[in-house]
Amino acid sequence: MIAPSGSSLEIDYYLERVGEALADLPLEVREDLMEDLPAHFVEVLEEQGGSLVERLGPPAAYAAELRAAAGIEAGAGAASTARVDLERLRGRLRIADERGGRLIGYERATDFLRLLRPAWWVARGVAIVVLIFAMDILPSDRIDDPLGWVLIVAAVIASVRLGAVGRPRMHRFVGYGITALGIIGVLVMAVNLDQLGNSQSYLPQASSNPYQGIVDVYPVDQDGRPLQNVTLYDQNGNPISMGDAWRCYAGQGPEPRATPAYPLCPLGRTAPSEGTAPQPTTTTTPTPTPTPTPTSPPTPTPTPSASVNPSPSGSPSASG
Amino acid sequence: MDTTQLLKGVLDLAVLAVLRDEDGYGYDILRRLRSAGLDDVGDASVYGTLRRLFQAGALTTYVVPSEAGPHRKYYALNAAGRAQLAQSGKVWTGFAQTMDRLIGEEAA
Q: Give residue-wise pLDDT tens across range B5-57.
A: 888 889 999 999 999 989 999 889 999 999 999 888 889 999 999 999 998 99
Considering only the beta carbons, identify the residue of B44, B45, B70 that sits closest to A39.
Answer: B70
Q: What is the pTM of this model?
A: 0.42
* DSSP single-letter state for residue B37: T
**What span, in angstroms and rounded, lies between the C-alpha atoms of A289 and A292?**
9
The residues in B 74-103 lying below 8 A from A, measured between CB atoms, are: none
pLDDT (average), residues A193-210: 54
Q: Please answer yes or no on whether B70 and A70 come within 8 Å at the CB atom.
A: no
**What span, in angstroms and rounded, lies between the C-alpha atoms of B37 and A23?**
34
**What span, in angstroms and rounded, lies between the C-alpha atoms of A97 and A109?**
5
One-letter-per-residue 3-state SS of chain A: CCCCCCCCHHHHHHHHHHHHHCCCCCHHHHHHHHCCHHHHHHHHHHHHCCCHHHHHCCHHHHHHHHHHHHCCCCCCCCCCHHHHHHHHHHHHHHHHHHHHHHHCCCCCHHHHHHHCHHHHHHHHHHHHHHHHHHCCCCCHHHCCCHHHHHHHHHHHHHHHHHHHHCCCCCCHHHHHHHHHHHHHHHHHHHHHHHHHHHHHCCCCCCCCCCCCCCCCCCCECCCCCECCCECCECCCCCECCCCCCCCCCCCCCCCCCCCCCECCCCCCCCCCCCCCCCCCCCCCCCCCCCCCCCCCCCCCCCCCCCCCCCCCCCCCCCCC
Q: Please answer yes or no on whether A66 and B49 come within 8 Å at the CB atom.
A: no
Q: Which CA distances in Å does B6 have to A96, A128, B41?
A: 44, 54, 10
**What span, in angstroms and rounded, lies between the C-alpha atoms of A256 and A194?**
33
Chain A residues within 8 A (CB-CB) of chain B? 2-6, 32-33, 35-40, 42-44, 46-47, 55-56, 62-63, 65-71
Q: What is the pLDDT of residues A63-114, one digit of tens each?
A: 999 988 888 776 544 444 566 677 778 888 888 888 888 888 888 888 888 8
Q: Please answer yes or no on whether B47 and A5 come within 8 Å at the CB atom.
A: no
Higher pLDDT, residue A5 or A178? A178
Chain A positions in Cβ-Cβ contact with residue B26 (cut-off 8 Å): 36, 39-40
ipTM value, please give it.
0.85
Pick among A17, A18, A36 to test the B interface (most B CBs inside 10 A): A36
A4 band by pLDDT with thresholds 50, 70 and 90: very low
The answer to whether B38 faces chain A, any CB pair under 8 Å, is no
Q: What is the pLDDT of residues A140-187, one digit of tens each?
A: 777 777 888 888 899 899 888 888 887 777 787 888 888 888 888 888
Higher pLDDT, residue A305 or A181? A181
pLDDT at A94: 84
Q: What angle do CA A254, A257, A263 make, to 5 degrees?
A: 90
Q: What is the pLDDT of residues A33-55, one digit of tens each?
A: 888 888 888 888 888 788 888 88
Q: Please answer yes or no on whether A67 and B48 come within 8 Å at the CB atom.
A: yes
Chain A positions in Cβ-Cβ contact with residue B48 (cut-off 8 Å): 33, 65-71
Chain A positions in Cβ-Cβ contact with residue B52 (cut-off 8 Å): 69-71
Higher pLDDT, residue B28 or A310? B28
The 10 Å Cβ neighbour count of residue A22 is 20
Q: Is B24 helix (H, G, I), strand (E, B) or coil?
A: strand
Q: How many CB pairs under 8 A join A and B?
A: 74
Q: Please answer yes or no on whether A46 and B69 come within 8 Å at the CB atom.
A: yes
Q: Please answer yes or no on whether B27 and A47 come within 8 Å at the CB atom.
A: yes
Check whether A237 has a pLDDT greater than 90.
no
Q: Please answer yes or no on whether A46 and B63 come within 8 Å at the CB atom.
A: no
Q: Please answer yes or no on whether A5 and B69 come within 8 Å at the CB atom.
A: yes
Q: Please answer yes or no on whether B43 and A46 come within 8 Å at the CB atom.
A: no
Check whether A250 has a pLDDT greater than 90.
no
Average per-residue pLDDT in chain A?
74
CB crowding B93-108: b at 16 or more within 10 Å, else e: eeeeeeeeeeeeeeee
The 10 Å Cβ neighbour count of residue A240 is 13
**What span, in angstroms and rounded, lies between the C-alpha atoms of A69 and A22?**
13
- Which residue of chain A has the CA closest to B12? A69
What are residue A214's phi and psi, to 5 degrees? -85, 125
Q: Is B43 helix (H, G, I), strand (E, B) or coil?
A: helix
Check whether A271 has a pLDDT greater than 50.
no
Pick among A8, A14, A17, A65 to test the B interface (most B CBs inside 10 A): A65
pLDDT (average), residues A281-287: 51
pLDDT at A90: 83
The answer to whether B108 faces chain A, any CB pair under 8 Å, is no
Share of chain A above pLDDT 70, in %: 68
Check whether A115 has a pLDDT greater than 70.
yes
Q: What is the pLDDT of residues A176-192, one digit of tens each?
A: 888 888 888 888 888 87
The 10 Å Cβ neighbour count of residue B62 is 11
DSSP states of B58-108:
SEEEEEE--SSS--EEEEEE-HHHHHHHHHHHHHHHHHHHHHHHHHHHHH-
pLDDT at B78: 94
Higher pLDDT, residue A249 or A222? A222
